[in-house]
Amino acid sequence: MRRRTFVKMLGSTCVAGTAFAQSGTGKPIRIIVPLSTGTPSDAVARIVAPKLSSLLGQSVIVDNKPGANGLIAVQDLMRSPADGSALMMGSVSFLGINVALVKNLSYDPRRDLTPIAGVYSGNHAWMVHPGVAARSLSELVALAKARPGQLRAGYGSTLVQVQLLAFEKMAGVEFLKIPYKSTATNTTDLMGGTLDLGLLDMGTAMVLARDGKLRALATSPLKRHPLTPDWPAVSETLPGYDIASWSALVGPAGMSQDGVSRISDAIAQILRQKDVIESLAKAGTVPMAMTPPQLQDHIAAEVTKFITIARQANLEPE
């Protein structure tokens, strides 16, 4: 009798452990990344993919589709079936900023995508070339005021562009802003002295600061970043400055609640795993666990925030 009870309990445990796999479509899952390989979104997608595959019992691949301010990736996602076989690791640029900066945008992240789960918060560090005579953000502001329009600041994404514009507005300064097609080229020119300052993802910034190739002045979120507690937040010099970088998993519109919950629950489980937390830290990121309703509210709030920033900076959609 006891043996039968044990076998029954063992069977129940096995069913619970494979619940994710049993409820799926069995089709391979694509995680579309709107950015190139080597970016934080790509790195985190590759950390998450094998974990998600193990939990769901499905093959999970990362599919990079950079270009056109994320429109190539988003349109691919929107054309995909709403069965969970296509997801997107969307950053704040594509889920928040594009509404404010892209003219005649072909999608609205608040309406045309299905929020699934928050994944990570990455943020940016304000970095200067060692030859720049500023060892703090307040010194950078003073230098910019003494040399209006002369300090060269590069940007390779709309997120960095918005951060520079918001900084100029709040500090009463003007940089010579230079657009780049890639963050890699931007970083190379900053290290080489072609640029004076730039905003880099935390993973890259920590390595270059450690090696003495660039100097860190501050980080962009409202509070100091947990991975670099000795680096001040911009808000300590400019109160209220708060522009965080983040990324989340979304799907095409029309996904079923069961399908969304299945993937969202798996992501939440993944983000609690110690090795994942450690891997995220190496990429300069920290977990940003959010349920679908929380992510929906977060996306709506971010869209509103960046529309306001764009208006205050007199920035017209292009």
Q: CA 179 to CA 194: how far, in whole Å?
A: 13
> Which tops the pLDDT comparison, 10 or 255?
255
- In this prediction, residue 317 carries a pLDDT of 80
**CATH annotation of 27-121+245-312:** 3.40.190.150
Percent of the residues in the chain that have a pLDDT greater than 90, as a whole number: 72
102-119 tens-digit pLDDT: 889 999 999 999 999 999
151-180 tens-digit pLDDT: 999 998 888 989 999 999 999 999 999 999
Query: Contact, 128 vs 197, CB < 8 A?
Result: yes
Q: Where are the domains of the chain?
A: 27-121+245-312, 124-236
DSSP helix/strand/coil, 176: strand
The mean of the pLDDT values for the chain is 90
206-224 tens-digit pLDDT: 999 999 999 999 999 888 8
Query: Contact, 62 vs 46, CB < 8 A?
Result: yes
Intrachain domains 27-121+245-312 and 124-236 with the same fold? yes
Q: CA 303 to CA 298: how far, in whole Å?
A: 9
Tell me the fold of 124-236: D-Maltodextrin-Binding Protein; domain 2 (3.40.190)
Compute the average pLDDT of residues 179-184: 86
Identify the weakest region by mean pLDDT among 16-30, 109-123, 298-312. 16-30
Answer yes or no: is pLDDT of 13 > 90. no
Compute the average pLDDT of residues 231-242: 94
Residue 24 — very low, low, confident or very high, per pLDDT cuts 50/70/90?
A: low
Identify the weakest region by mean pLDDT among 19-28, 47-56, 288-297. 19-28
- In this prediction, residue 22 carries a pLDDT of 43
| Residues 276-298: b if buried by 16+ CB within 10 A, e if exposed | beebbbebbbbbbbbbbeebbeb
- In this prediction, residue 1 carries a pLDDT of 44
Residue 9 — very low, low, confident or very high, per pLDDT cuts 50/70/90?
A: very low
- In this prediction, residue 25 carries a pLDDT of 58
- In this prediction, residue 21 carries a pLDDT of 46
Q: CA 185 to CA 94: how far, in whole Å?
A: 21
